[in-house]
């Protein structure tokens, strides 16, 4: 036993090793061998007598126990020995091989725990340390932000998590988050399940309803960003069980049945940065104010590391808002979709200035859900997280809450495009795990590769010497990235897959030669490995991109002609809007003022195959009425699932076209264009938005994007505002 007050040195021996312990100092054991066997002799040298006096207990509590860098595995932590350290307050288990902690370590007074650099997969076992105030588990690759939220809920006294003060956020998780989820779970029960439970019921009936309710609640009760989906389902299951227990007259969390494991086949999408704190609460509060009062949220916060990324100054919750909004009613029509102005975000400001209404926003892409192949319910499988770019920053935003989850800045850059892909990466111990990677590029011609869940810009590709206008990933090969540049080239790159140390190798596979600057590119959905279509400053072109052909540098296969204002066919015109409505129908603009064309890819290209000519007319299916403005680069987009086309204009309006009724007619027309132009189904007008009390006018809508299920509509403007509408 260690003398309670003296500073002494003791030497203990064990099988094939020896340890040195110094009392009244941070106690560290150094192993004399390289074996990763049990730590029992270490703890035996330290453990006090079964009934120490008060002084001994005080000394024991003050002395940190360090079991670091001993290659310890979970089985090496003997709960019987730890039970003799019940007054211990500081334990260091860092730099070992622990995949979990035993559930019965019996350390009720533990206040500080360091288990960084291990292989932990679960944090719920930490609830056995109710007084824990400081916790560090950085560099456990299987732990995510969902685990951060779990420990903040489970540990009521937690102040520091991975070196970050989480006091305010933890209170938000325990109070606001729990209140909202409890309300939603209760409403779900009342709406869908209460009527299924009769006054007299058997145990079997209760078990059946219970399982059905738990599964349904985890699927349909949603709150907060999609990146916290695992935490939300975990809390929903807990709350649902508490609700059932209370209705059965039982105490909370005392169900006789063994709790079934949450049905969770997915791997999580993007997490928030580890530095979670008051910024997140401030953003959440402002998001609620935006929904109620129409006020403008503060700019997005930035977060940690990477020399390529610049840290933003925190936006304060008490800052005076500079934007106010008055909603404008839409057209009254049976086909009109009800869209509510939800959030108006000024999060790309230069120098973090609230007075910046000049930064142009260009691109928005919704994050692909990592579990999209395993869940059929669109409510669960559709991501609410979008990446936007403009100025020197890229932002990740949760559309439901309006919270800016992350912000990446590169000084002196101007980002024009962002694109997502999902890579299967291999961890240190050989496990495979999917992660979403974001590619961002712009004026400098450099592609930044960002591992979003790690909050780390791990590399860059110097793709072009001139700006990159747009980029997209192949839907069939996760590492293939197309970049279209002002150097009149479209490059195909294999970005590779980074290893556990983020080493990667990128290579150029192909160069497509363009006669003018490419503005928009789209892979043909019916054959994405064979053909690419591009809208350029001087026409619309298609290339053969099959990799089994020998040429690394390739000219275009065909240039498409469209009618101009005089009704003549021309191949020389700016095409600054290009997208596919379905596998065959292409939507493009702007060869003719005030119109958007829909045309058949297959019929147009097959017609080209019957002739040796490289220029062929596009077989027009329909013409959409649009603004008569001659301003360029107001691009369009489509929502194939809903058969909608969207395009903004120079007055801040969004033109929306529901084309579901025209599909059958196009198939029967065989390329014959309707004489009547199709009017917009509705025009979503820009609300009365005021900046510092003055009406914000002359709003250009550079881009309009919806999520795949058409739940959210995003309008990117030329006045540094990303507007979010939600379908109601």
Consecutive H or E run containing 233: helix 229-247
How far is the C-alpha of 294 from the C-alpha of 402, rounded, in Å? 12
**pLDDT over threshold 90, residue 724:** yes
Percentage of the chain exceeding pLDDT 90: 44
Q: What is the pLDDT of residue 646?
A: 97
Q: Which residue has the tokens 């369009």?
A: 636
Mean pLDDT over 294-301 rounds to 33
Q: What is the pLDDT of residue 81?
A: 81
- pLDDT tens-digit map of 643-687: 999 999 999 999 999 998 887 777 666 655 656 789 999 999 998
Q: What's the first-to-final CA gap in the chain, in angstroms?
A: 69
Q: What are phi and psi of 679, to 5 degrees?
A: -80, 160
Collect all residues with Cβ–Cβ distance below 8 Å to 176 and sequence separation of at least 6: 284
**What mean pLDDT value characterizes the chain?**
78
Return the structure tokens found at 448. 């930044």
Collect all residues with Cβ–Cβ distance below 8 Å to 694 and sequence separation of at least 6: none
The band of 550, judged by pLDDT with boundaries at 50, 70 and 90, is confident
DSSP class of 320: P
How far is the C-alpha of 706 from the C-alpha of 643, rounded, in Å? 12
Nearest-Å Rg of the Cα atoms of the chain is 30
The full set of domains in the chain, from first to last, is 339-367+383-727 (2.130.10.10)
How far is the C-alpha of 44 from the C-alpha of 32, rounded, in Å? 17
Where do runs of H (alpha helix) occur along 546-669?
601-609, 663-669
Chain centre to alpha carbon of residue 496: 21
- Which among 344, 349, 367 has a CA at the least distance from the CA of 359? 349
**pLDDT over threshold 70, residue 498:** yes
Residue 30 or residue 447, greater confidence: 447
Q: What is the pLDDT of residue 46?
A: 55
Q: What is the pLDDT of residue 310?
A: 35
Chain centre to alpha carbon of residue 645: 25
pTM over 0.75: no
**pLDDT over threshold 90, residue 273:** no
> 479-493, 589-603, 668-682: which has the minimum mean pLDDT?
668-682
- Which among 136, 99, 147 has a CA at the least distance from the CA of 114? 136
How far is the C-alpha of 637 from the C-alpha of 520, rounded, in Å? 11
Collect all residues with Cβ–Cβ distance below 8 Å to 638 and sequence separation of at least 6: 579, 580, 581, 587, 644, 645, 646
- pLDDT tens-digit map of 54-111: 444 444 555 788 888 888 888 888 888 887 887 889 999 999 989 889 988 888 899 9
**pLDDT over threshold 80, residue 202:** no
Other Cβ atoms less than 10 A from the Cβ of 630: the count is 9
How far is the C-alpha of 153 from the C-alpha of 234, rounded, in Å? 11
Q: What is the pLDDT of residue 649?
A: 94
How far is the C-alpha of 92 from the C-alpha of 81, rounded, in Å? 16
- Cα–Cα distances (Å) from 274 to 103, 186, 337, 510, in that order, read 25, 31, 39, 39
Which strands form 694-695's sheet, in the order they lie side by side?
323-326, 688-691, 694-695
Residue 354 or residue 307, greater confidence: 354
The band of 453, judged by pLDDT with boundaries at 50, 70 and 90, is confident
Q: What is the pLDDT of residue 212?
A: 86
Q: What is the pLDDT of residue 43?
A: 56
- pLDDT tens-digit map of 693-702: 778 888 999 9
DSSP class of 173: I
Give the pairing of strands 553-554 and 507-513: parallel
Do 104 and 128 form a contact (C-beta atoms < 8 A)? yes
Consecutive H or E run containing 421: strand 415-426
How far is the C-alpha of 222 from the C-alpha of 487, rounded, in Å? 45
Consecutive H or E run containing 702: strand 701-706
The band of 199, judged by pLDDT with boundaries at 50, 70 and 90, is low
Q: What is the pLDDT of residue 477?
A: 96
- Which among 167, 155, 91, 163 has a CA at the least distance from the CA of 129? 155
Do 17 and 40 form a contact (C-beta atoms < 8 A)? no
Residue 342 or residue 326, greater confidence: 342
- pLDDT tens-digit map of 500-548: 888 999 999 999 999 899 999 999 999 999 999 999 999 999 999 999 9
Q: What is the pLDDT of residue 611?
A: 54
Q: What is the pLDDT of residue 41?
A: 56
**pLDDT over threshold 50, residue 636:** yes
Q: What is the pLDDT of residue 62?
A: 59
Which strands form 585-589's sheet, in the order they lie side by side?
577-580, 585-589, 595-600, 620-625
The band of 329, judged by pLDDT with boundaries at 50, 70 and 90, is very low
Q: What is the pLDDT of residue 40?
A: 58
How far is the C-alpha of 470 from the C-alpha of 702, rounded, in Å? 14
Q: Which residue has the tokens 């066919």?
A: 569
């Amino acid at each position: 036993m260690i003398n309670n007050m003296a500073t002494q040195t003791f030497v203990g021996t064990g099988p094939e090793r020896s340890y040195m312990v110094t009392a009244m100092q941070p106690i560290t054991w150094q192993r004399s061998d390289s074996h990763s066997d049990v730590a029992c002799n270490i703890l035996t040298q330290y453990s006090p007598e079964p009934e120490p006096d008060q002084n001994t207990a005080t000394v024991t509590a003050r002395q940190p126990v360090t079991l670091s860098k001993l290659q310890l595995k979970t089985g090496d932590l003997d709960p019987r020995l730890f039970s003799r350290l019940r007054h211990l307050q500081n334990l260091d288990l860092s730099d070992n091989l622990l995949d979990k902690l035993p559930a019965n370590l019996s350390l009720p007074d533990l206040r500080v725990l360091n288990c960084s650099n291990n292989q932990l997969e679960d944090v719920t076992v930490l609830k056995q340390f109710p007084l824990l105030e400081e916790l560090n588990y950085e560099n456990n690759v299987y732990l995510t932000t969902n685990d951060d939220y779990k420990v903040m809920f489970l540990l009521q006294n937690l102040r520091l998590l991975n070196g970050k003060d989480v006091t305010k956020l933890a209170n938000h998780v325990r109070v606001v988050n729990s209140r909202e989820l409890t309300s939603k779970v209760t409403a779900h029960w009342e709406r869908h399940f209460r009527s299924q439970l009769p006054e007299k019921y058997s145990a079997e009936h209760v078990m059946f309803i219970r399982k059905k309710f738990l599964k349904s609640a985890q699927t349909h009760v949603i709150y907060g960003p999609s990146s916290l989906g695992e935490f939300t389902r975990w809390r929903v299951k807990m709350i649902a069980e508490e609700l059932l227990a209370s209705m059965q007259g039982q105490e909370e969390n005392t169900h006789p049945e063994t709790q079934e494991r949450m049905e969770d086949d997915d791997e999580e999408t993007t997490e928030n940065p580890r530095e979670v704190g008051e910024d997140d609460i401030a953003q959440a509060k402002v998001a609620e104010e935006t929904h109620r009062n129409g006020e403008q949220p503060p700019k997005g916060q930035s977060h940690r590391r990477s020399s390529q990324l610049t840290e933003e100054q925190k936006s304060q919750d008490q800052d005076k808002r500079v934007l106010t909004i008055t909603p404008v009613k839409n057209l009254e029509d049976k086909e009109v979709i009800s869209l509510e102005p939800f959030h108006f975000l000024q999060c790309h400001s230069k120098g973090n200035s609230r007075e910046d209404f000049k930064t142009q926003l260009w691109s928005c892409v919704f994050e692909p859900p990592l579990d999209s192949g395993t869940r059929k319910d669109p409510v669960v499988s559709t991501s609410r997280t979008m990446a936007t770019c403009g100025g020197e920053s890229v932002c990740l935003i949760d559309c439901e809450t309006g919270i800016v989850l992350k912000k990446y800045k590169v000084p002196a850059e101007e980002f024009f495009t962002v694109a997502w892909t999902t890579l299967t990466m291999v961890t240190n111990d050989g496990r495979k795990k999917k992660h979403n990677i974001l590619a961002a590029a712009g004026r400098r011609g450099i592609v930044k590769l960002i591992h979003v869940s790690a909050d780390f810009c791990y590399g860059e590709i110097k793709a072009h010497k001139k700006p990159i206008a747009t980029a997209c990933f192949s839907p069939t090969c996760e590492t293939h990235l197309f970049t279209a540049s002002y150097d009149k080239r479209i490059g195909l790159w294999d970005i590779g897959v980074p290893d556990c140390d983020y080493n990667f190798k990128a290579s150029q596979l192909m160069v497509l030669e363009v006669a003018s600057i490419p503005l928009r590119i789209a892979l043909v959905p019916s054959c994405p490995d064979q053909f690419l279509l591009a809208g350029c400053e001087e026409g619309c072109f298609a290339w053969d991109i099959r990799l089994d052909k020998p040429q690394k540098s390739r000219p275009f296969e065909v240039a498409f002609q469209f009618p101009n204002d005089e009704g003549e066919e021309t191949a020389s015109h700016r095409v600054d809007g290009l997208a596919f409505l379905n596998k065959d129908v292409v939507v493009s603009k702007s060869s003719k003022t005030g119109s958007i064309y829909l045309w058949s890819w297959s019929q147009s290209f097959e017609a080209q195959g019957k002739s040796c000519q490289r220029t062929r007319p596009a077989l027009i299916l329909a013409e959409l009425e649009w603004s008569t403005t001659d301003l360029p680069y107001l691009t369009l987009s489509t929502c194939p699932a809903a058969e909608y086309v969207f395009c903004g204009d120079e007055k801040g309006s969004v033109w929306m076209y529901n084309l579901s009724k025209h599909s059958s007619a196009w198939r029967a027309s065989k390329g014959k264009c309707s004489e009547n132009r199709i009017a917009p189904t509705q025009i979503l007008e820009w609300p009365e938005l005021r900046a510092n009390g003055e009406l914000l006018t002359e709003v250009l809508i550079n881009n309009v994007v919806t999520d795949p299920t058409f739940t959210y509509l995003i309008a990117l403007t030329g006045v540094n505002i990303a507007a979010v509408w939600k379908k109601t």
